[in-house]
Amino acid sequence: MKPTNVVSMNFKSAEAMQEFIDMYERNAPSLYPQAELLVLVKTDEASLIAIAAYPSEDDRLVAKKTAEKRVKGHLAPLFEENFRLVGDMVVQHRLNP
């Protein structure tokens, strides 16, 4: 099982969401080097679901601190609201490696 974050993010606008997507695509691998999986799913014009899986709970907690610091800091003006769920990934299929 892999410790996993699932975060729902609602942005103030489609432009704010795109700004976040651009930053995440560019910087997420270096911001969260512990992650084994980083995924963003667009759910509507100003909302995303982020999924991140880690090899250990310690790695997940390090990444959580980084994310919370950014979301409560300079990225705060982009968000309408966000909430985080934490669990263990129990099934993962990769059909096309």
pLDDT tens figures, 48-94: 999 999 999 999 999 999 999 999 999 999 999 999 999 999 998 88
What is this structure's pTM? Answer: 0.91
CATH topology for 2-89 is Alpha-Beta Plaits (3.30.70)
pLDDT tens figures, 15-35: 999 999 999 999 999 999 999
The three-state DSSP-derived secondary structure of the chain is CEEEEEEEEEECCHHHHHHHHHHHHHHHHHHCCCCCEEEEEEEECCEEEEEEECCCHHHHHHHHHHHHHHHHCCCHHHEEEEEEEEEEECCCCCCCC
The domains of the chain are located at 2-89
